[in-house]
Amino acid sequence: MDPEKLTELRELLLRRPSVELLSLTNPYESFRMRIDSDLVVGYTSGKIVANSPAAAKVVGEVIRELLVEARDYDVLIGSDEAGKGEWLGPMTVAAVAFTPSQAVDAAARGVMDSKELSVPKILDLAEVVREDSSGYNVLVIGPERFNRLLKDARAEGKNLNDILAWAHARVIQQVYGGLSNDLGRIKVVIDEFDRLRTEERLRRVLNLERIELEQGPRAEEEMAVAAASILARAEWELWVDRESKRLDIDLRRMTQQEARMRKDVGTFAKTSYLRGAQGNSTSAPS
């Protein structure tokens, strides 16, 4: 949870029966306490560890009391993308809807910005997101389609941000359309890349008079955006795995020079990125 909320969480926990505050054992601890006979430790990073299901249940109840009721929305839809700056593979864009309670549960199960996770963990957490969200949608723009879209956009005086704005609007629209009509206040959060283009695209498909829209840096700190980053990255990884198997080659180990020499390069690579590319290796999807 947010490290700035740890003090408030500690005070709420101390109001519960059978809770005893203990001395800290290292500088990384924000608080250490015993609940009945079980141990709970809150770390300055925001991570909270309980050594039993019973203690974890108490902590979860208090976190909901602290976080869920304070939210100014009933459902939050977050979107994020992977592969937009990567020459290899598709660009994938995902949107996820969480209620405040679902967001707390997702955080407790390890959902966080995909950039901080290993590939196996991303694939595992993608299943968690699909199972526990109120809705999700993923758009996979394969290299061949991406190459055509970018070429057409540039011919019209547009750029990658126009494609991103369209893609984000599409997945958000799909998630929003699948939500129940009685869910209440809905908020949409997107990592800011082009505020005007994104808002204009969203206005085409959503009534923004009824939905709060927020664009800003580090949007992945919102759990729904972090969940979307996991789904987008998982789809990128799975796509590369499938293509590597189809071509009988490990695409992740292929250099840009090797890619440019293949006649089928347009089926697995963003060719416009390769024309002026320097270096010999792939980079992490963004």
Domains and CATH numbers, the chain: 3-68 (3.30.310.10), 75-239 (3.30.420.10)
Question: How many degrees, rounded to 5, is the angle at CA 9 between CA 5 and CA 11?
Answer: 125
Q: How would residue 282 be classed by pLDDT, with cut points 50, 70 and 90?
A: very low
267, pLDDT greater than 60: yes
pLDDT at res. 154? 93
* Cα–Cα distance measured from residue 73 to residue 68, given in angstroms and rounded to the nearest whole number: 9
Whether the per-residue pLDDT at 214 is higher than 90: the answer is no
User: What is the rounded distance in angstroms from the CA atom of residue 258 to the CA atom of residue 279?
Assistant: 11
Q: Chain centroid to CA 166: how far? A: 18
Q: Average pLDDT in the 68-91 region?
A: 88
Q: Give the C-alpha separation, 121 to 115, whole Å.
A: 11
Q: Which residues contact 193 (CB under 8 A, 6 or more apart)?
A: 161, 164
* pLDDT at position 276: 56
Residue 278 has what pLDDT?
Answer: 39
State the pairing for strand pair 186-191/135-141. unpaired
CA angle 106, 107, 110 (to 5 degrees): 90
Residue 82 pLDDT grade (very low, low, confident, very high; cuts 50, 70, 90): very high
- For residues 120 and 82, give the distance between their C-alpha atoms in angstroms, rounded to a whole number: 16
* Distance separating the N- and C-terminal Cα atoms of the chain: 24
> What confidence score (pLDDT) does residue 119 get?
94
pLDDT value at residue 69: 62
pTM, two decimal places = 0.81
- Tell me what pLDDT residue 5 has: 85
Q: Which of 20-24, 105-109, 189-193, 207-211 has the highest mean pLDDT?
A: 20-24
Work out the pLDDT band at 162, boundaries 50, 70, 90. very high
Average of per-residue pLDDT across 234-256: 96
Confidence at residue 115, expressed as pLDDT on a 0 to 100 scale: 84
**So what's the pLDDT on residue 159?**
92
- Residues present in the chain in total: 286
Q: Compute the half-sphere exposure of residue 86: CA atoms within 13 Å on the CB side of its CA.
A: 24
Alpha helical stretches, state H, the chain: 6-14, 53-63, 100-108, 119-132, 143-155, 160-177, 195-205, 223-247, 256-260, 271-275
Give the SS3 label for residue 137.
strand
- How far is 72 from 100, CA to CA, in rounded Å? 10
User: Does the pLDDT of residue 277 top 50, yes or no?
Assistant: no
Q: Cα(104)–Cα(46) distance, rounded to whole angstroms?
A: 13
Cα→Cα distances 59→8, 15, 112, 133, 282, Å: 12, 12, 19, 21, 42
Summarised one tens digit per residue, pLDDT across range 12-60 is 999 998 999 999 999 999 999 999 999 999 999 989 999 999 999 899 8
Select from 171, 231, 157 the least CA-distant residue to 201.
Answer: 171
CB 75 within 8 A of CB 122: no
Confidence of residue 285 (pLDDT cuts 50, 70, 90): low
